[in-house]
Amino acid sequence: MTIVVTGATGNIGRPLVQHLVDAGAKVRAVTRHPGAAALPAGAEAVSDAAEALGGATAVFLNSRALGPQLADVVALAARRGVGKLVALSAINADDDDTRQPSRYRGDRNRECEQLVVGSGVPWVSLRPSVFASNFTGMWAVQIQAGDTVAGPYPAASTAPIADADVAAVAAHALLTDDLVGQRVSLTGPQALTNSELVDTIGSVLGRPLAYRELPAEAVRQRFLGIGLPAEFADAYIAMLAATVDTAALVTHDVEKILDRPATPFATWVRDHSALFTAGGQR
Q: Is residue 214 assigned to a domain?
A: no
Q: Is residue 148 assigned to a domain?
A: no
Q: Is residue 232 assigned to a domain?
A: no
CA-wise closest residue to 268 among 201, 202, 207: 201
Q: Is residue 27 assigned to a domain?
A: yes
Going 250 to 254 to 259 to 265, the CA torsion angle's sign is: negative
Q: Report pLDDT for 282.
A: 43
Residue 40: pLDDT band (50, 70, 90) is confident
Residue 66: pLDDT band (50, 70, 90) is very high
Q: Report pLDDT for 57.
A: 96
What CATH number corresponds to the domain at position 116?
A: 3.40.50.720
Quote the number of domains for the chain: 1
Q: Is residue 171 assigned to a domain?
A: yes
What gap in Å lies between CA 180 and CA 86, rounded to an integer?
9
Q: Is residue 84 assigned to a domain?
A: yes
What gap in Å lies between CA 250 and CA 185, rounded to an integer?
9
Checking if the pLDDT of 32 tops 90, the result is no
Residue 32: give the domain boundaries.
2-131+162-187+249-262
For the stretch 108-113, contacts whose Cβ atoms lie closer than 8 Å and that sit 24 or more positions apart, written own/partner, are: 108/63, 108/64, 108/70, 109/63, 111/63, 111/70, 111/71, 112/61, 112/63, 112/70, 112/87, 112/88, 113/87, 113/89, 113/183
Q: Report pLDDT for 36.
A: 65
Task: Find the mean pLDDT for residues 219-229.
Answer: 92
